[in-house]
Amino acid sequence: MRVNSPSSKIAIVTGAGSGIGRAAALALLGDGYRVALAGRRPQPLEETVALSGASDRALAVATDVADEQSVAHLFKTCVQHFGGLDVVFNNAGCGAPGVLFEDLTLDQWQGVVNVNLTGVFLCIREAFRVMKAKNPPGGRIINNGSISAYAPRPNSSPYTATKHGVSGLTRAAALDGRKYNIAVGQIDIGNADTHMTDRMSDGVLQANGALAVEPRMDVHIVGQSVLYMANLPLEANVLFHTVMATKMPFVGRG
């Protein structure tokens, strides 16, 4: 059951030039959505558009989610080009170098906060402004959290702290969005096979100080999970959804 047919639904995906964002954009476009693809670099966005074969249903919009005016331009462009907005996937994110906590610089910390936390806030705020103005009001926002929103890896304090912050934004926005019929949820992803997890094939640092190779899963599985959440009727919401490589070291001790 859907609120309306996929071909009439419009989405924004941030960080759509690669990895999880690209997989989610391709899944939505493959289901008939019209999608504004956002990212800092135009070329990877255009590559996603070409891969989709979706022609005029895909629109690349160069965007820096940490910049207020850039986010406003993204949403305005989407609404003007497609005529509305139904779904937002806040996926854009980054990490800091995996250095010792005491060696982190303020610039490294702030750079992650600006993208992972402030960027999500700016996109949620703009989505609220657009979705509450619809007749009738409503829409869906999906935030990319992380398994790091529950358990940290060594030397990951900026990324872990911001992903905990995303969980707080998800809960607060889900509550504040009720009066506008805006459903807000979060997808927490563990070890999707993207360039960001390539290092896991060679072994990554574990909590006990050992290096271990970690299993990964096909990133297209994540795209299908986002599509499932996006296609729910607005009377239902997945507040938190975890999709992960089955054998990755998350559940248990080690």
* Helices 19-30, 219-230: crossing angle, 10 deg rounding: 50
Q: Enter the pTM of the model.
A: 0.93
* Cα dihedral 131→134→137→143 (10° resolution): -20
State mean pLDDT over 90-99.
94
pLDDT by residue (tens digit) across 130-161? Answer: 999 999 999 999 999 999 999 999 999 999 99
Share of the chain residues as helix, strand and coil, in percent rounded to the nearest 5: 45, 20, 35
Q: What percent of the chain has pLDDT over 70?
A: 96
Domain ranges for the chain, please list them. 6-244
Active site residues: 159
In the chain, the amino acid numbered 100 is L
Evaluate if residue 222 carries a pLDDT over 60.
Answer: yes
In this structure, what DSSP letter does residue 245 have? -
Domain 6-244 has CATH 1.10.10.10: no
pLDDT digits 0-9 by tens, 45-91:
999 999 999 999 999 999 999 999 999 999 999 999 999 999 999 99
Q: What is the per-residue pLDDT for 31?
A: 96
Rounded CA-CA distance 90/42 in Å is 18
Residue 6, pLDDT score: 53
